[in-house]
Structures are given as C-alpha cells and as structure tokens.
Amino acid sequence: MATALYLPDRGGTAIHTHEVAVRLARLGAEVTVVSTCPSKLFVAERREGEVHILSVRSWPPKRDYYIAPALANMIHHSDSDIVHCQGYHTAVAPIVMLAALRAKIPYVITLHSGGHSSWLRRTLRPAQAWLLRPLLTRARRIIAVSTFEADMFSRRLHLPLSAFTVIPSGVDLPAVPAQPPAPGPPLILSIGRVESYKGHQRVVEALPALNRARPGTHLRIAGSGPYEGELWRLAERLGVRDRLEIAPVPADRRDEMAALLGRSWVVAMLSRYESQGLATQEALALGRPLVISDNSALGELRKYPNVRSLPAQADADEIAAAILELLDASPTSPPAMPTWDRCAAALVELYEDTLAQSH
C-alpha cells in the first residue's frame, strides 16, 4: 500500500490505511505500507505487528504535495503481487500508479477525495482527476468510500458506475457509555483538521446563542491546523473565548477519541466536503446526536435518527437552533455502521479477483 500519510499522522486516509493494513495482515496477507516523510530522514523502517512500514522523503517539506521520487524505485523493485494506492489528490498517486504500470504490477486505487481550504486547489481538483484519468482507467479497480464519491467521479471522469467499487471505511472505537454525563453544561464537539473548509468557524459563531440558551455550553474542536489562530480571534470578537477549546486527539489514540465522543452531547460536522465522513460515522456508532452540512457524502447520513442536516447557507442562529433541538431530543439506539473487518474482507475478495484476472 502506498499513501501520502500514515499514523501517527492525522487524517482519514492515514487511519483507513492503518486499519485495513493490520486486518489484512491478520487475514494472512503480507503487507508493506510505504508513506512519505517531509523530514530530512530519507528512509525509515519499522514494524507494526505483522505490517512492514517504510517511509521515504518528500518535497517540499512544508506543503502537502508529497512529491516523493523514491516511491517509484521502491515500487519498481518490489516483489508485490498487487499495489494499492490510497488517495488520488497528491503527487503520490501518479508516481505510484505509473511505477506499478511500468513494473507490470496490477494496481488498485482508493480515491479518498477530500476538500481543501485553498479556492485554487478546490477549483483544480476536477482537472487534476481528469489528468489522472489515463492512469485511473488502467487501475484494475477504482474504489470509492461512498456512493456519493463513486457517483461524482463517474460523472467527472465520464466513466460508467460499473468502473467503481464502493467499499466504505469502517468504525471500530472502544465502547463508551451511551449518554453524556449529567448534570453539567453541555459539551459540543466539532471534529476535523482545523482548516476553513471544515466549518469549525460556523459552530464558533453559534456559540453565543448556545450560551444564552444553555449557559456554560462548551465547544471542543478536536483537531489542529493553520486556521486555529483565526478561530481564536473569532471567539475573542464574539466574547466566547473562555467557552472554546482547540486540541487534537492523536490519530493512534482511538480510546481517547471514543472517550471524547462519549462525553460530548452533540457532535457537529459542518464541512464543505467529505468523501465519507469517518468521524461522523464514529459519532453515530456511539449514539451521539449529529449536526451536519447537507452536502457531499455527509448528506447520506440524514436518514439516521438524531441527525439534523443544514444547508450550506445556514446562519449562526439556525445552527444553534439545530444543536439545541438535539440537546433536548430523546436518545436513540446507535445504528449499525460499516466495520473495518468487513472493509478488509471486501478488499481481500477484490485483490483475489484482481489477481485471478491477471493470470
């Protein structure tokens, strides 16, 4: 497997790659994960149980392009039966797919599409996918993590839906108490990297109204990123700085994330774009009420009880009203969500079919 980021780096693709890698190894596969490293360390090697992990240097060190020429040589000289590229939107994807093609190793790709704070990068994403189309169409399988993602790339690449296989990411957090502790002021949780497109600022804007209705309401943003300073300045202007906390949860500390979700009264995900929304599915699996933006793959979650979907133009009062409604709503049983075991099993079946067609 080749990926731009791997644990302990944060992000849905890093978590996804880790979760399926360890399960594939348990199912008997010999798994090597190759990821990039922007530091001066050219190659690092470690083991995670039965998973062999390598990292190679990438450039530039402070940007998210992940240009890593050493990946090509590593793929070309490997004895892999199959190469799985995790994510399409960095330089890792073309390097890995082209290297596998030249080495005549069958490859598959999971798209893991995502948003971006840069207007230019968001605008260029369709063109980027189109430029990759010759390599994507040569993949033995194109895997999407949601029906939304498959539909979008089918239209964007002018490919039939049959060219895509939908294999959702899974949910596997430690069990926690089903309800938040009482009494006490509510804890609202907004999850995701601290970028403008993730929409944390919209929850901060709703915080004054929430505190007028429910004094002491506290907002925890579970993430880190370049937009943090702007969020603090916004909270200062709105007079709710003392009601805000911004702190990430290490990606490999799933117990801490489960505990934080267990303490939260309502979880918010007002992102402009999510290909699946792994954090929201984890929240639902633990019975947390959820406020979402009605867009991208998040819109697929509106079918569940105790989920309120809001239009992109919803203002602070509307967001606060949706959260307050959920604070007073009756609890519901957590819905059944996809699991990592099913995800890994589906990948094994896909690999076996791919290899059978190669002979």
Q: What is the mean predicted confidence (pLDDT) over 65-89?
A: 92
286: which residues sit within 8 A by CB, 6+ positions away?
A: 173, 176, 178, 258, 261, 262, 334
CA distances from 333 to 72, 186, 287, 305, 330 (A): 48, 20, 6, 9, 10
Contact indicator for 248, 260 with CB cutoff of 8 Å: no
206 and 316 co-located in one domain: yes
Does residue 176 belong to any structural domain of this protein? no
Output the pLDDT for position 250: 83
Question: Among positive and negative, which fits the CA dihedral 39, 118, 109, 94?
Answer: negative
Q: What is the mean predicted confidence (pLDDT) over 260-284?
A: 90
pLDDT confidence of 279, banded at 50, 70, 90? confident
Higher per-residue pLDDT: 340 or 252: 340
Does residue 181 belong to any structural domain of this protein? no
Does residue 177 belong to any structural domain of this protein? no
212 and 344 co-located in one domain: no
149 and 206 co-located in one domain: no
SS3 state of residue 198: helix
350: which residues sit within 8 A by CB, 6+ positions away?
A: 108, 141, 143, 165, 167
28 and 151 co-located in one domain: yes
Q: Mean pLDDT score of the chain, rounded to an integer? A: 90
Does residue 120 belong to any structural domain of this protein? yes
| 11 pLDDT above the threshold of 80 | no
Q: Cis peptide leading into 60, omega within 30 of 0?
A: yes
163 and 311 co-located in one domain: no
18 and 39 co-located in one domain: yes
pLDDT confidence of 15, banded at 50, 70, 90? confident
36 and 73 co-located in one domain: yes
SS3 content of the chain, % helix, strand, coil (to 5): 45, 20, 40
pLDDT confidence of 42, banded at 50, 70, 90? very low
124 and 75 co-located in one domain: yes
**What is the number of structural domains in the chain?**
2
- The CA distance from 190 to 198, in Å, is 9
316 and 350 co-located in one domain: no
Q: Which amino acid is at 95?
A: I
Does residue 182 belong to any structural domain of this protein? no
Q: What is the mean predicted confidence (pLDDT) over 19-41?
A: 88
Does residue 180 belong to any structural domain of this protein? no
Range of the domain at 217: 187-327
- The CA distance from 316 to 208, in Å, is 9
Does residue 207 belong to any structural domain of this protein? yes
Among 184-188, 192-196, 229-233, the range with the most confident prediction by mean pLDDT is 229-233
Output the pLDDT for position 294: 92
- The CA distance from 150 to 143, in Å, is 8
199 and 244 co-located in one domain: yes
How confident is the model over 89-120, as pLDDT tens digits?
A: 899 999 999 999 999 999 999 999 876 656 56
164 and 204 co-located in one domain: no
215 and 319 co-located in one domain: yes
Give this prediction's pTM. Answer: 0.86
For the chain, what's the residue count? 359
SS3 state of residue 114: strand
Does residue 18 belong to any structural domain of this protein? yes
- The CA distance from 71 to 155, in Å, is 30
SS3 state of residue 265: coil
pLDDT confidence of 237, banded at 50, 70, 90? very high
Q: What is the mean predicted confidence (pLDDT) over 182-198?
A: 89
Closest residue by Cα to residue 190 from 269, 278, 289:
269
CATH of the domain at 116: 3.40.50.2000
- The CA distance from 78 to 83, in Å, is 10
